[in-house]
């Protein structure tokens, strides 16, 4: 039972929940911080309700994976994952440049937009998680046991992360202000991850090729890869949004330094 297959599945399974959950948590934290900064803390429930809605939608998707596995696999699965990643990136960029870039007009941030972004972010990460585990549970009994063990340990670790965040933000309100000031950095990293997910999924679906290049590097966290296709996509992203992000980065660094020296 405790063979190489078990430990391999355990290590792969363990990091899925904390990794995907943390990506969704960053967006949720960003949205909650925005509401609190704009004196609309009483509307935070909208974020939580949409997160719960995304969880129920994810459960329906899980049932679909089990009962419609012959349909929701292969190319259809990869294409749907790519489209979801691009949609999530589009929502992130829209909220960032249309609303978060104008912090003085934060009260105009649509509650519908906040709820939709929370739903899409949680559902996208949950969908990826379900597909990962669905694949891992298809192996031998030893692999399935290792996957289940890693899943439970991952849930425990992610629960600890949630408790740490909840305690720290309740006790130290300034943490929310710091998180909000760093929002453009979070959005930039999440957008890069979305691009990597989309490119990889399109390649798995044979909608894109894979041409090796020495000008990029592989990184599982940022989802980067050493391919011409990924290099082209990330270049288009940087050319179209780079100056806007640089303007935001310089402002957040200035605000962060002012906050640190005043504390």
* Band of residue 114 on the pLDDT scale cut at 50, 70, 90: confident
Rounded to a whole number of angstroms, the CA Rg of the chain reads 20
Task: Please give the residue that has the higher pLDDT: either 103 or 167.
Answer: 167
Structure confidence at residue 140 (pLDDT)? 77
Q: What whole-number percentage of the chain has pLDDT above 70?
A: 81
Tell me the average pLDDT across 230-244.
93
H/E element, 69: none
Nearest C-alpha neighbor of 237 from the set 123, 81, 85: 85
Residue ranges of alpha helices (H) inside 68-211 are 74-95, 111-136, 141-171, 174-181, 183-204
What is the rounded distance in angstroms from the CA atom of residue 67 to the CA atom of residue 191?
Answer: 32
Give residue-wise pLDDT tens across range 179-207.
Answer: 666 778 877 887 888 898 889 889 988 88
pTM above 0.85, yes or no: no
Relative orientation angle of helices 141-171 and 174-181, to the nearest 10 degrees:
110
Domain ranges of the chain: 4-262
Q: Is the pLDDT of residue 247 over 80?
A: yes
> What does the pLDDT read at residue 107?
47
- How far apart, in whole angstroms, are the C-alpha atoms of residue 29 and residue 35? 10
What would the mean pLDDT of 127-150 be, rounded to a whole number? 80
Give the pLDDT mean for 153-172.
78
Neighbours of 259 (CB within 10 A): 13
Across the chain, mean pLDDT equals 78
| CA 263 – CA 259 distance, rounded (Å) | 6
Q: Please, is 210 exposed, middle or buried when counting C-beta atoms within 10 Å of its C-beta (0-12, 13-18, 19+)?
A: middle
Q: Are 24 and 122 within 8 A, CB to CB?
A: yes
Q: Which of 18-27, 54-63, 168-177, 224-233 holds the top average pLDDT?
A: 224-233
**Nearest-angstrom CA–CA distance, 99 and 108:** 8
Beta partners for residue 224, in sequence order: 219
Q: Sign of the CA dihedral 193, 31, 115, 99?
A: negative
Q: What is the pLDDT of residues 51-108, one digit of tens each?
A: 999 888 877 877 776 666 555 556 776 777 787 778 778 877 876 776 555 544 444 5
**What is the per-residue pLDDT across 121-135, written as a single tens digit (0 to 9) for each?**
788 778 778 777 876
């Amino acid at each position: 039972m405790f063979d190489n297959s078990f430990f391999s599945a355990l290590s792969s399974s363990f990091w899925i929940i904390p990794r995907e959950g943390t990506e969704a948590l960053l967006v949720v934290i960003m949205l909650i911080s925005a509401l609190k900064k704009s004196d609309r803390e009483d509307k935070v429930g909208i974020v939580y309700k949409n997160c719960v809605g995304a969880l129920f939608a994810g459960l329906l998707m899980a049932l679909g994976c089990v009962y419609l596995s012959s349909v929701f696999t292969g190319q259809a699965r990869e294409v749907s994952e790519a489209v979801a990643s691009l949609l999530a990136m589009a929502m992130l960029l829209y909220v960032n440049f249309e609303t978060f870039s104008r912090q003085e007009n934060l009260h105009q941030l649509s509650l519908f937009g906040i709820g939709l972004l929370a739903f899409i972010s949680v559902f996208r990460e949950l969908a990826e998680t379900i597909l990962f585990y669905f694949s891992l549970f298809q192996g031998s009994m030893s692999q399935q046991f290792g996957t289940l063990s890693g899943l439970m340990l991952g849930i425990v670790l992610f629960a600890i992360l949630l408790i740490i965040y909840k305690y720290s933000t309740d006790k130290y309100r300034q943490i929310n202000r710091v998180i909000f000031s760093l929002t453009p950095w979070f959005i930039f990293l999440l957008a890069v991850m979305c691009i990597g997910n989309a490119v990889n999924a399109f390649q798995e679906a044979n909608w894109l090729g894979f041409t090796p290049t020495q000008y990029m590097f592989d990184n599982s966290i940022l989802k980067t890869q050493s391919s011409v296709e990924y290099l082209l996509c990330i270049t288009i992203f940087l050319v179209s949004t780079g100056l806007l992000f640089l303007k935001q980065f310089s402002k957040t660094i200035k605000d962060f330094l002012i906050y640190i020296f005043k504390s």
